[in-house]
A and B are shown apart, each in its own frame.
Chain A
Amino acid sequence: MSADETNAQSVDDADADIDRDGEQILSVEGVGKRFSGLQALDDVDMTVNRGEIIGLIGPNGAGKTTLFNCISGAFPPTSGTVRLDGEVISGLPAHKIARAGLARTFQITRPLEELTVVENAMVGAHIHTRRRGEAREIAMETLEFVGLADKAEEEAGELTVGAQKRLELARAVSTRPEILLLDEIMAGLTPSESNQMLDLFRQLRERGTSLLIIEHDMKAIMNISDYVKVLDQGKGIAFGAPETVVEDDRVIEAYIGGFDVDA
């Protein structure tokens, strides 16, 4: 519904024409972020509906991770509003946003190194229960899901890069979020690991979890996303189905001189 409420001045009002299914989970309205003189984000609008997979792309420094940080409460936006299920979450601390049903992963994985793999996942699961046994069950389910169950008792700091990425996902998934923000979780994975990851994304969607994904692997993101949002220099410049976005002049322009779009 708020798709047609988007600011008329916004360049990416293309999404007003798109007919999307499902109720709105996340809505980002006019979000801006300023770091002492640098306007990292400028009036960004976007929405995610239930069960959607949305790709967030843009050249380096476009503000993708900054947008994630604003949404997930790592820091508050300097302007604009973020709503989760209709409730305003911008300005809330990260732990409250997590409890409201939004989980995220970090671009550079942040395993709780001296804890075991299952304990890492249990920290997330404790959102739902204070009982250790129940938290362990939820944690083991998610480890099973991401394929780390056999490493449950290993120390998280000793995992390989691929396994750490999956643990990052498992910790977020064990909070049973309504929407997951994934920040370059496929970076550094082998092609087969990437394919497994894409498969996990699809399964998460089937469970009703919405996904907002930052990824540099264009092929993967064009393949998995229902819609793609493009940021450039802190501004939203396009939104639409993957195949239309790659033909958008502004998007092509933004990427020229940056790096190749091999999609």
Chain B
Amino acid sequence: MSAIETVRDRYRTFDDQRYAPLVKGVGLFGLLAALPTIIEIDVAGMELAALLSLKVLILTVIYAYTAQAWNIMSGYTGQFSFGHAAFFGIGAYATQALVVDAAVNPWIGMLVGGVLAGAYGLIIGALSFRFKLQGHYFALATLAFAELLRFVVTNMSELRGANGYFKAFPRDYGAEYGLVAFQFQNDLPYYYLIVGFLLVVTLVSWLIKNSWVGLYFFAIREDERAAASVGVPSFRYKLIGVAVSAFFTALGGAYWSMYFNTIRPDTVFALFKNVELLLPAVVGGPGTLLGPIVGSFIVTPVSEIARTTFSDINGLDRIIYGAFLVAIVIYSPRGVVSWPSQARALWERVRGDEEVSE
């Protein structure tokens, strides 16, 4: 018992240090960087890699990344977006259209996509917030804007309609396999690249959270009227949240389009993509920094493994997504990352009762 308490006290002292976030960040991303090696470690003739392939790891980190981007808007400001596929798809399409049709380097296409998505986010936000859409109504509006794009792109021959784009070879846009070309000949560099993306968006999220912007976001989430009464310009700050979130989500779409061979309206703009992009944040803990990452490591591997193992049961992965969503919303709306502190509170309550009864 006292040993546990010593450890806890040491942790609290550590947690108060200025360098604590840095140490935690380095630890977390060090672990992520080591994962491809860890899954290949042979334990009693079993490798974790048999279950958890590098491909699943990449998918997991992609969704950790998009959930982190979604979180900046929806977790922090409380404006629940159900239409982030719009931004994801814009990023994917801007990148591929520029690469394939104009031989522009994908990194430039990615930034163009980010800016376009940010602009689209501002339009959605300005319209919705001007007309005071909130809660479910706002979520439905974002979904409508995402679906709108899917229909438009499907019917635009300039963007190759329903067929979508097939990724170009690096030489088609004057590059060779490598970081500059945004294409690699095996999966490992892709994995490190998306971990790098995740690091950037997590850093941005941390900076926001630890500045007045983050505090204004949270104040808007908690009570917009109370926030306005002490000088928070909620309309402007909600727009900032949407734009930043849309920009980073589009970068995720660009990565997706450079990792997989094809993109189509019914993949990157898919109705279900909206759920996949946000679910890790909701499961892990909306509004937290760690939640989207932890959430993705719970949700994505389970559904991917289920999908590949029971491939004859069509849509099993979606059932699993649905089950996660329902369970977490009903039983733990603050997400998985809140479990340790809840357990601690429970533990202290139980012990408190014991001490009283003694």
Residues of A that sit less than 8 Å from B by CB: 72-74, 93-96, 98-99, 103-104, 106, 110-115, 119, 122-124, 126-127, 130-132, 135, 171-172, 174-175
Q: How many residue pairs between the two chains, A and B, have CB atoms under 8 Å in the bound complex?
A: 83
Using an 8 Å CB-CB cutoff, how does the interface string of B223-251 with A read, 1 for contact, 0 for none? 10111111111100000000000000000
A26 to chain B, nearest CB (A): 16
- B226, A106: Cβ atoms under 8 Å? yes
- A127, B225: Cβ atoms under 8 Å? no
Residues of B within 8 A of A130 (CB): 211-212
A180 to chain B, nearest CB (A): 11
- A112, B226: Cβ atoms under 8 Å? yes
- A103, B229: Cβ atoms under 8 Å? yes
Instruction: Determine if B219 is an interface residue (Cβ-Cβ < 8 Å).
Output: yes
Q: Which of B226, B227, B230 has the most CB of A within 10 A?
A: B230
Residues of A within 8 A of B234 (CB): 95
B46 to chain A, nearest CB (A): 43
In the complex, which of the residues B215, B218, B226, B232 contacts A110, with contact meaning CB atoms closer than 8 Å? B226
Q: Known contacts being A123-B216, A132-B211, is A112 close to B231, with CB within 8 Å?
A: no
Residues of A within 8 A of B216 (CB): 123, 126
Residues of B within 8 A of A172 (CB): 229-230
Instruction: Determine if B210 is an interface residue (Cβ-Cβ < 8 Å).
Output: yes
A252–B227 alpha-carbon span in the complex (Å): 39
A129 to chain B, nearest CB (A): 8
A6 to chain B, nearest CB (A): 28
Instruction: Determine if B222 is an interface residue (Cβ-Cβ < 8 Å).
Output: yes
For the complex of A and B, the 7 pairs showing the least CB-CB separation, nearest first, are: A112-B222, A110-B226, A98-B231, A124-B230, A94-B228, A127-B231, A123-B219
- B225, A110: Cβ atoms under 8 Å? yes
25 interchain pairs, CB-CB under 8 A = A93-B233, A94-B229, A95-B228, A95-B231, A95-B234, A99-B231, A103-B230, A106-B226, A111-B223, A112-B218, A112-B222, A112-B226, A114-B221, A115-B219, A123-B219, A123-B230, A126-B215, A127-B230, A127-B231, A130-B212, A132-B210, A132-B215, A135-B212, A135-B215, A171-B230
A112–B211 alpha-carbon span in the complex (Å): 17
Of all chain B residues, which has the CB nearest A98? B231
Residues of B within 8 A of A106 (CB): 225-226, 229
A209 to chain B, nearest CB (A): 15
Of all chain B residues, which has the CB nearest A102? B229
Q: Known contacts being A119-B218, A126-B215, is A112 close to B223, with CB within 8 Å?
A: yes
- B218, A115: Cβ atoms under 8 Å? yes
A106–B226 alpha-carbon span in the complex (Å): 8
A114–B285 alpha-carbon span in the complex (Å): 13
B208 to chain A, nearest CB (A): 12
Of all chain B residues, which has the CB nearest A157? B222
Task: Kindly list 12 other residue pairs between chains A and B, CB separation below 8 angstroms, not including A106-B226, A123-B232, A135-B212.
Answer: A74-B225, A95-B232, A95-B233, A98-B228, A103-B230, A110-B226, A119-B215, A123-B227, A130-B212, A132-B212, A171-B230, A174-B230
A74–B225 alpha-carbon span in the complex (Å): 8
